Homo-oligomer: A and B are copies of this chain.
Amino acid sequence: MTTTETILKRAKAAAPALAAGSSAAKDAALERIAARLLAEQADILRANAEDMEAARNALSPSMLDRLKLDPERIAGMAQGIREVRELPDPVGRVLSRVERPNGLRIEKTAVPMGVIGIIYESRPNVTSDAAALALKAGSAVVLRGGRDAYRSNAAIVTAIHHGLEDAGLPADLVGLVEDTSRDSARAMMTAVGYIDLLIPRGGAGLIRSVTEHAKVPCIQTGTGICHIYVDASADQDMALTVIENAKTSRPSVCNAEEVLLVHRDIAEAFLPKLAKRLGADRSAAGLTPVELRLDGRAAAVIDGVPAGEADFDTEFLDYILAVAVVDDTDAAIAHIARHSTGHSDAILTRCEASADAFTRRVDSAAVYVNASTRFTDGGVFGLGCEMGISTQKLHARGPMGLEELTTYKYIVRGSGQIR
């Protein structure tokens, strides 16, 4: 087995070859990689079948479905790489330009990070997506995927290596960590001098581990305890539609709603409609109903499961919604300040003052007025792609696109100036 340290060293040694390359060279390599993924589909499907067989008794049906590849999904991966290729090159942008009175010319210029590390647990298509984004951003990448998908990931990375070699670039630009134990994740978190940016993509446990152990620069992603607050003045029909969408259109993702706050003045009118819309109506339509976990004030109006204190701090990722009644917009903002993970929070209101207070004072990556939290996404926000959704404030906040995967340097040209 190649050690994680060796893979990191090789990536660091390979990175300058890519950083020095032109936009055209990077795009040509991405095209070769997409072609190789398609050409080596049989190998990838064979490896994936082995992963599926090994995981058959260990994973739930929905997890098995995430793991599974088929020709259509591989075509989607190749198409994803081609879409990344079509995006503008984030490297070399001149972010600002100053000429000083003494003749010094100072250009702040976007440059690659160097080596980007990614720890992920999920689907094998993340392997090709993340590699394509990092390469387009001019950086080498070291991927540490989950154990269940290892054979699939290895076959995908083999195809990527062939594509890089077809394009005359070193295969070491994309490294796959062979050790899928906790040790390798720790090794990446502490690889000072080898990893310029580490992006953990996964659940709350991974994020906690990174906070605890990481010594390399990190961007934390993906934990979303997202709130929707229904103000007294809200259009209640719109509110029902937005809440159902935010909760049920894809409950397993980080921008799904987990907590609903309702202004006390409308609680008696609105909560029964909510219970019907998310409960009986969905059951009647053959859809999964949403379990409501109610604080004391909400439970005084409708039936539901009494909420424990933890329910307002839990990312359910399921058909479960915690519901509380609050006194007003200030109380909603205060609740969100205590419980939000800073991902996406929304107010539904017809009052401009409430909307302004909410957008100004809620300290989250995305703050919505009268829309579903489900829109927090790199594509929707105009970034063209997405490496993850940052819930921290440093460097990148919210969806991260190619620009967020670069850094910058100042290039200063003179003619002998001294200070």
Contact = CB atoms under 8 A, between A and B. Distances in A.
A217 interface: yes
A249 interface: yes
A414 interface: yes
Interface in A319-376: 355, 359-361, 363-372, 374-376
B412 A375 contact: yes
A284 interface: no
A382 B106 contact: yes
A407 B416 CA distance: 37
A409 B245 contact: no
A380 B100 contact: yes
A334 to B, nearest CB: 10
A196 B361 CA distance: 16
A414 B371 contact: yes
Nearest to A346: B412
Interface string A384-419: 000000001111011000000001111111111111
A241 interface: yes
B196 A371 contact: no
A235 interface: yes
Given A215-B212, A366-B409, A392-B217, A238 B371 contact: no
A96 interface: yes
A111 B366 CA distance: 12
Contacts of A393: 113-114, 196-197, 217, 407
Nearest to A215: B211
Contact of A96 (B355, B376, B382, B411): B382
A24 interface: no
A368 B241 contact: no
A359 to B, nearest CB: 5
A363 to B, nearest CB: 7
Interface string A72-89: 000000000000000000
Interface size class of A (residues with CB under 8 A): 35 or more
Contacts of A419: 245, 249, 372, 374-375, 380
A410 B114 contact: no
Interface string A182-202: 000000000010001100000
Interface in A214-257: 215, 217, 219, 235, 238, 241-242, 245-246, 249
Contact of A381 (B106, B371, B374): B106
A20 B371 contact: no
Given A197-B394, A397-B409, A407-B394, A418 B114 contact: no
A42 interface: no
B249 A418 contact: yes
A109 to B, nearest CB: 9
B241 A359 contact: no
A394 B395 contact: yes
A80 B266 CA distance: 52
B409 A365 contact: yes
Nearest to A249: B419
A229 to B, nearest CB: 14
Interface string A38-57: 00000000000000000000
B245 A418 contact: yes
A242 B408 CA distance: 25
11 contacts: A96-B382, A100-B380, A365-B409, A367-B411, A372-B417, A372-B418, A374-B418, A381-B410, A395-B395, A397-B409, A397-B410
Interface pairs A-B: 4 shortest CB-CB: A371-B414, A245-B418, A395-B395, A393-B407
Interface of A: 16, 19-20, 96, 98, 100, 104, 106, 108, 111, 113-114, 192, 196-197, 211-212, 215, 217, 219, 235, 238, 241-242, 245-246, 249, 355, 359-361, 363-372, 374-376, 380-382, 392-395, 397-398, 407-419
Given A238-B416, A371-B417, A376-B410, 15 more contacts: A20-B361, A98-B382, A212-B215, A242-B416, A359-B411, A363-B409, A366-B412, A367-B412, A370-B415, A371-B414, A393-B407, A394-B394, A395-B395, A397-B410, A398-B410
